[in-house]
C-alpha cells in the first residue's frame, strides 16, 4: 500500500511538467474526491489498490502531456468551477483581465452583453456571476463546446446567460449591445508554441486564425459596430505582440476611444474601443 505522502513525491515521473508537484496534488485530490488541504492533513492515508491503479494511469497520461484539466475534467476560472473537455480552450488566468476590465468599464445596472466564442462559457459566466442585473448572450460555433457551455451555465444556475450557436455574428439577429467581449482564436498557424504543452491537446479551431492570427479579430471588429449601442464597448483579448495591429483594425472598423491594456507581466493583452455616442 502506498500513502498520500509517497504518491506526492513522484514528481520525477513528470519530467515534462513545469508544475509537477502541483499536478500531483490536483490529480490526487481529484481522484480521492478531497481538497488539496486534505492531502496535507492525512499524509499517511493509504490508497486502495483500485485508487492506486487509477492514480498510476493518470500519471502516465500526464507524463504523455495531457493537460491536468482534461484529466480532471474541470478548471477554475474567476473562482467558478467549470467543466472542460477537448472541444475548446481550457480557460486561462490571463483572460481574467478581460473580465476585470469589463466589470470596471460598465455600470452594474442592467446591460446587454454579448460574448463571442464563449467556449466553456468562462467569460460570460464570470460576468453573469458578478452582475446579476446584466443580460448575457454567449455565442459559439462548435456544437460540442456549445453543449459544454450550457452544462456549465446550468451547473452554476446562472439564468441571466443565454447560450446560442453562431458563426461570430452570422446567427445573431439584429440588436444592440452595451458591451461585446471576445477571446477569439488569435495564434498564427506557424507559431511553434502550438507544438508545446497543453495547446497540443486543444482544438486548432479554438486557437488558430489566418492573417498572422488577426483574421477573426478583423471579422469581429468590422461587424461589431452594427451591434453596438451608441457608446457601447468592444473588448478583445489578443496576443502580446498584436496590440498595435489590433488598434488599427479597431480604427478601420470605426471605433473610437481605442486603447490597449497590459497584464501583470506588463504585456498588452487586450484592446478596447467604443462606438461613438
Cite the DSSP H helix spans in 66-214: 68-72, 96-105, 122-130, 143-156, 204-207, 210-213
Cβ-count burial of 159 within 10 angstroms (0-12 exposed, 13-18 middle, 19+ buried)?
exposed
Q: Which stretch binds ligand SAM (CB under 6 A): 18-26, 135-143, 238-246, 267-275?
A: 135-143
Tell me if 68 contacts ligand SAM by CB under 6 A: no
Contacts of 251 (CB under 8 A, 6+ apart): 258, 273
Q: Which of 20, 59, 68, 89 binds ligand SAM (CB under 6 A)?
A: 89
45 annotated to bind ligand = no
**Interface size with ligand SAM, residues (CB under 6 A):** 22
- Distance of closest approach, residue 173 Cβ to ligand SAM, in angstroms: 16
Q: Which of 23, 39, 113, 117 binds ligand SAM (CB under 6 A)?
A: 117
Tell me if 76 contacts ligand SAM by CB under 6 A: no
Residue placing its CB nearer to ligand SAM in the complex, 145 or 161: 145
47: left (phi over 0), alpha (psi -120 to 50) or beta: beta
Q: Which of 118, 160, 260, 271 binds ligand SAM (CB under 6 A)?
A: 118
118 annotated to bind ligand = yes
Cβ-count burial of 272 within 10 angstroms (0-12 exposed, 13-18 middle, 19+ buried)?
buried
The x, y and z cell numbers of residue 3, run together, are 500513502
Phi and psi at residue 218, to the nearest 5°: -60, -45
Q: Which of 123, 136, 228, 249 binds ligand SAM (CB under 6 A)?
A: 123
Tell me if 152 contacts ligand SAM by CB under 6 A: no
Residues 180-219 interacting with ligand SAM (rule: CB under 6 A): 183-185, 205-206
Tell me if 232 contacts ligand SAM by CB under 6 A: no
CB 209 within 8 A of CB 215: yes
User: ∠ CA 195-198-208 to the nearest 5 degrees?
Assistant: 60
Tell me if 167 contacts ligand SAM by CB under 6 A: yes
Tell me if 111 contacts ligand SAM by CB under 6 A: no
Strands across the sheet containing 177-182: 161-165, 135-140, 112-116, 177-182, 228-237, 268-274, 256-262
Residue placing its CB nearer to ligand SAM in the complex, 28 or 127: 127
Q: Which of 91, 213, 232, 273 binds ligand SAM (CB under 6 A)?
A: 91
Phi and psi at residue 75, to the nearest 5°: -150, 140
Extract the annotated binding site: 117-121, 140, 168, 183-186
Q: Which residues bind ligand SAM (CB under 6 A)?
A: 88-89, 91, 95, 117-120, 122-123, 139-142, 145, 167-168, 183-185, 205-206
Extract the annotated binding site for S-adenosyl-L-methionine: 117-121, 140, 168, 183
Amino acid at each position: 500500500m502506498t500513502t498520500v505522502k509517497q504518491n506526492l513525491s513522484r514528481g520525477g515521473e513528470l519530467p515534462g511538467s513545469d508544475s509537477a508537484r502541483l499536478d500531483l496534488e490536483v490529480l490526487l485530490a481529484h481522484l480521492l474526491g478531497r481538497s488539496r488541504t486534505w492531502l496535507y492533513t492525512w499524509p499517511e492515508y493509504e490508497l486502495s489498490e483500485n485508487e492506486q491503479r487509477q492514480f498510476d494511469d493518470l500519471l502516465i497520461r500526464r507524463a504523455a502531456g495531457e493537460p491536468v484539466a482534461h484529466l480532471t475534467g474541470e478548471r477554475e476560472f474567476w473562482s467558478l468551477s467549470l467543466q472542460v473537455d477537448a472541444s475548446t480552450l481550457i480557460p486561462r488566468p490571463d483572460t481574467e483581465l478581460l473580465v476585470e476590465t469589463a466589470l470596471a468599464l460598465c455600470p452594474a445596472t442592467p446591460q446587454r452583453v454579448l460574448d463571442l466564442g464563449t467556449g466553456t462559457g468562462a467569460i460570460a459566466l464570470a460576468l453573469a456571476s458578478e452582475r446579476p442585473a446584466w443580460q448575457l448572450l454567449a455565442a459559439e460555433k462548435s456544437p460540442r463546446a456549445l453543449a459544454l457551455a450550457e452544462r456549465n451555465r446550468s451547473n452554476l444556475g446562472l439564468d441571466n446567460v443565454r447560450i446560442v450557436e453562431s458563426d461570430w455574428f452570422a446567427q445573431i439577429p439584429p440588436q444592440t449591445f452595451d458591451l461585446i467581449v471576445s477571446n477569439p482564436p488569435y495564434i498564427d498557424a506557424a507559431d511553434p508554441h502550438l507544438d508545446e504543452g497543453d495547446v497540443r491537446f486543444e482544438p486548432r479551431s479554438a486557437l488558430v486564425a489566418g492573417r498572422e492570427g488577426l483574421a477573426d479579430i478583423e471579422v469581429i471588429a468590422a461587424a461589431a459596430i452594427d451591434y453596438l449601442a451608441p457608446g457601447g464597448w468592444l473588448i478583445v483579448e489578443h496576443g502580446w505582440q498584436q496590440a498595435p495591429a489590433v488598434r488599427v483594425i479597431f480604427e478601420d472598423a470605426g471605433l473610437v476611444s481605442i486603447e490597449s491594456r497590459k497584464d501583470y507581466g506588463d504585456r498588452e493583452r487586450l484592446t478596447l474601443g467604443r462606438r461613438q455616442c
